[in-house]
Amino acid sequence: MSSVHPQSPPENDTVLVVDFGAQYAQLIARRVREARVYSEIVPSSMPVAEMLAKNPRAIILSGGPSSVYEEGAPQLDRAIFEAGVPVFGMCYGFQLMATVLGGTVDNSGAREYGRTQLAVSRSGSTLFEGVPDKHSVWMSHGDACSAAPEGFTVTASTDVVPVAAFENDERKLYGVQYHPEVLHSEHGQQVLEHFLYRGAGIEPNWTTTNVVEEQVALIREQVGDKRAICGLSGGVDSAVAAALVQRAIGDRLTCVYVDHGLMRKDETAQVEKDFVAATGVKLVVVDAEERFLDALKGVSDPEQKRKIIGREFIRVFEQAQADIIADEGPAVEFLVQGTLYPDVVESGGGTGTANIKSHHNVGGLPEDLEFQLVEPLRKLFKDEVRMVGQELGLPAEIVQRQPFPGPGLGIRIVGEVTKERLDLLREADAIAREELTAAGLDREIWQCPVVLLADVRSVGVQGDGRTYGHPIVLRPVSSEDAMTADWSRLPYEVLAKISTRITNEVKDVNRVVLDCTSKPPGTIEWE
């Protein structure tokens, strides 16, 4: 299996976000991109020489849970501040910059958590030009900077922290104690953009048009005159990935839709109708339901289910490859996948983080995979993928479709996967989606996984009889990029209608419950 993936061309104005274990590192990268500047996340363990070898136009130091005084706390080579590259420190990154450059950070117990009033003392500074002198920001720290490094100007403070922001225009080094990337920080995006545009002198020219042009060029370079196949799931990720590759190599792309029996109600018909009509791409539909159900028989462990689904998925592709070669001749050497940046990060491939979950399109691939991977969306967040889809002319029915996991309903059944359980869950899921659409809530929520607790039964009363049925869980969540999420506060009347319909219309279900857990601590999917 090839590990080479298309990367952004070196001519891009790339901003590196150095991750010190921050909860919001991915959010910082997204905010930079919202400013139309390309960004990538790198771990704080990466040697500074490697960071600088990427020729970044600017570097942002993220926050993190550590104290700069803790033994083993992440550190940073002073060379990063002496390379002439503009640097912006946030929270822990701010304190680390201060200590490395000779400032003073006091471990005094001066804590600030949550909304805090910031007082700007230099309103015309690079960071705070046009920003109100008093505004609310989001703090999360236990140490405080009491003296800025030599040559720095203190530009903001709070009642607790005498140095809440400092700037050095000559060296293009800047820092703030708070988190400008979160929405709770008023004018945070403006301050971040001031650093990018004014401090670092970067032009805001990273757009979806650039992404399409760059990726098409990279795909052509990677694939050459060979052929590729793409696993089409019907979701926005695989659809946009396929549309990009088709634009790059035309009819040398064949899309394969594996009907593994784990899809939602009427999904196969929708894929054939909507995507083919929109793109004219060649589509092969493989009926593999029996194969997948046989492989999943008796399996309840979620990670094992993911791996089995991933393994069988690839094997079906290998057979499709053989069939396509037999029909068309030239070898199919490339497999297109709709892997996104959050997939990479959560699977341990982005910042050295722990493996939160394995995906069949990231962590669960067999070692003997015979394809080279083409992953044109690997550096994009979900909202960026939707914008690229719009740029490519895909219809709203595809571009705005709610996310759906690659392993399908197989990981929305807690317990063994059987055809009977899948059919039950399909009906419940269809009802929930119908009612959310009827209520005009499709754009209000990120997605609403519907989960069957197959190994759980509860007592109920339906008609005049006592029942012993399964619970269905509704998991409506709101999110911008799936890295963090909150449960959606759906109207009670909508929840009541969904519950009533499911318990009345779906056999063996007598209870509907609502999951009101944010992410973190819970993931969006149950398995």
Catalytic residues: 91, 179, 181
The DSSP secondary-structure symbol of 251 reads G
Dihedrals phi, psi of 49, to nearest 5 degrees: -60, -35
Look at the alpha carbons of 342, 347, 350, 351 in this order and tell me if their dihedral is positive or negative.
Answer: positive
- With contact defined as beta carbons under 8 Å apart, do 485 and 27 qualify? no
DSSP 125-144: STTTTTS-SEEEEEEEES-E
| Distance in angstroms (rounded) separating the CA atoms of residues 223 and 249 | 8
3-state secondary structure 352-415: CCCCCCCCCCCCCCCCCCCCEEECCCCCCCHHHHHHHHHHCCCCHHHHCCCCCCCCHHHHCECC
Q: How far from the centroid of its chain's Cα atoms is residue 271's Cα?
A: 23
Burial code (b: 16+ CB inside 10 Å, e: under 16) for 42-57 equals bebebebeebbeeebb
| Distance in angstroms (rounded) separating the CA atoms of residues 35 and 28 | 11
| Distance in angstroms (rounded) separating the CA atoms of residues 318 and 331 | 12
Among candidate residues 176, 78, 85, 160, the one with its CA nearest the CA of residue 125: 176
The residues that bridge with 17 in the sheet, in sequence order, are 41, 60
Among candidate residues 194, 177, 200, 203, the one with its CA nearest the CA of residue 123: 194
Rg (CA), the chain: 25
> Exposed, middle or buried: residue 71 (CB in 10 Å: 0-12, 13-18, 19+)?
exposed
| Distance in angstroms (rounded) separating the CA atoms of residues 315 and 370 | 10
